[in-house]
Structure 1
Amino acid sequence: MADEIGVPVKGAWGQAVAAVALVAGLGVGLWAFGDQSSADSAHPSPAACSGGEPGETHTTSRKASGHVSGAQLCTALNRRDLAELLGTPGESAKEAGGSGGSVKYAGGKEFDTPSARVEFTTYTVSLTATYDHRPVTRFSALLGDDQPHRKVLGHPAILYSDRTIGVSFRLDGSDTKSGPGVPARTVIVARDARDSGDSYELTLWRADGGVPDDATLLGVAEKVLPAIPGWPAGG
């Protein structure tokens, strides 16, 4: 018997940046998920965040520079009203987790990409922070956003299409295969209004393979981003 899951192309923003930097390829990060606990199997409790603790970092400068952890991103993302924001108010989160991570350029320079993911029956949402000191607007044309001056909460932003990676495997771990997954929509938002470098990436995809609604994605972003530690007050 085989199982199949959708895995986000973690740090798609990082991949776009890496393409410009002529990096040959990037790995897909590993996720740490919270177990779904339930006192009543018919009414499971929403998943709590696990993994991505502050100590899990791939560069030594995280604390000094104020980088958030995967655990902090998960706390911001796994809101009580997230299902309502997604338009599925009757659903509870099945899995929620944070992860540390990093991306290394061909020249050896490495930057942090902590991330979090929350999965529901209908939607899955992921949130990644990218600390690469690069402005968002520099890559608007590359990613195909038809609104080059888009802003979210007053910060420069890019909206674009992506796909997850479909991974199938047998329950014993053998016969693993991967291929194109389902459509995803992603919004990348500059860390500050001046677009002085670094960004947050929010990605949304549906289990049924439908294309996520942009209004839903942007609505989630407007609620989740201000909850990230270090988000500028008033915007």
Structure 2
Amino acid sequence: MAHDIDAPTKGAGTWGQAVAAVALVAALGAGLWTIEKASSSDSDPRPATCSGGEPEKAPKESGKAPRRVSGAQLCEALNRPDLAELLGTPGETAKTAGGSGGSVKFGNGKEIATPSAEVEFGTYTVNLTATYDRHPVAGSASLLGASARQQTVLGRPAVFYSDRTISISFRLDGSDTDSGPGVPARALTVARDTKDSGGSFEVTLWRTDGVVPDDAVVLRVAENVLPTVPGWAANG
């Protein structure tokens, strides 16, 4: 049986598509995504729930270093009871929900923590990623294409931009794996703190039918979800 999935190409803000794609495939292969699926055999399936997990430290940091938010914590913040209503699709039930630790490693040995979470509905899929780098959000619109738009969200520098998922097709036995362009997505990157001292949270939405998500929907999700992420208020 063949399976097709859509996955974000820039789970870490402005990082390249190739790096994100490799990280995603590695995560799938290693089983890092902790996903709870609603049973298809139930006449009234329950919404998917997030698996637990301990907060994670940034790569190569000591035990005394500040603790970063984990993929499990991001999932708990994202997979809220009213998420379908925020998306404008009340009545829909989350099909899958999961979180991953994740990091991006560069040729110079530097490693950036990029924990993320994702919740899938029938109409929308929502991805939430935290990036712990030193890059400010202000001014990044010029790097993200003509559709990028700088603004302020929740009192912090932010930027809207267009993206596209990667469509990955594979069989359960590992054969016939293929990938290609997926569906359009809209992403909103918001600085981790009001001083924009580096790092960001990113909310990305895409639709199953391939219609470009409305920025108002992305903004509504971000404004309700981000303040519930652990540590958000402390960085205000």
Bucket of the pairwise TM-score, normalised by the shorter protein: 0.7 to 0.9
Aligned to 1:4: 4
User: How many residues are matched?
Assistant: 228
SS at match of 1:162: strand
User: Is 1:138 aligned with 2:143?
Assistant: no
Secondary structure of 2:13 counterpart: helix
Q: Which residue of 2 is the match for residue 165 of structure 1?
A: 166
SS of the equivalent of 1:183 reads strand
Question: Per-residue displacement from partner, 1:195-219 (whole Å, max 9, x unpaired)?
Answer: 1111001100001111111100000
Tell me the SS of whatever aligns to 2:23: coil
- Please report how far the alpha carbon of residue 135 of structure 1 lies from its aligned counterpart in structure 2 after TM superposition: 0.6
Instruction: List structure 1 runs of 4+ shifted beyond 3 angstroms.
Output: 37-40, 55-59, 144-148
| Structure 1 residues 6 and 192: alpha-carbon distance in aligned structure 2, compared to 1, 3 A threshold | same
Change in 2 beyond 3 A, CA 1:216/1:108? same
Alignment TM-score, normalising by the size of structure 1? 0.88
- How far residue 57 of structure 1 moved from its aligned partner, in angstroms, is 6.2
Question: Which amino acid counterpart does residue 213 of structure 1 have in structure 2?
Answer: D
Cα offsets for 1:113-136 (capped at 9, x unmatched) = 000000001100000000002111
| Residues 120-155 of structure 1: per-residue CA shift (max 9 Å, x gap) | 01100000000002111131211135543x011011
CA distance in 1, matches of 2:136, 2:81: 32
Please list every run of 5 or more consecutive structure 2 residues that lacks an aligned counterpart in the other structure. none
**Aligned amino acid, residue 170 of structure 1:** R
| 3-state SS in 1 of match to 2:158 | strand
Q: Structure 1: 5+ residue runs without aligned partners? A: none
Q: Secondary structure at the match of 1:118?
A: strand
CA distance, structure 2, for counterparts of residue 37 and residue 225 of structure 1:
25
Deviates more, 1:27-36 or 1:53-62: 53-62
Structure 1 residue 14, shift from structure 2 partner: 4.7
**Percent of residue pairs bearing the same amino acid type:** 61
| Counterpart contact for 2:34–2:99, Cα < 8 Å | yes
Deviation at 1:69, TM superposition (A): 0.4
Q: Tell me how large the CA RMSD over aligned residues is.
A: 2.4
The match for 2:73 is: 72
What is the CA–CA distance in structure 1 between the aligned matches of 2:222 and 2:133, rounded to whole Å? 21
TM-score, normalised relative to structure 2: 0.87
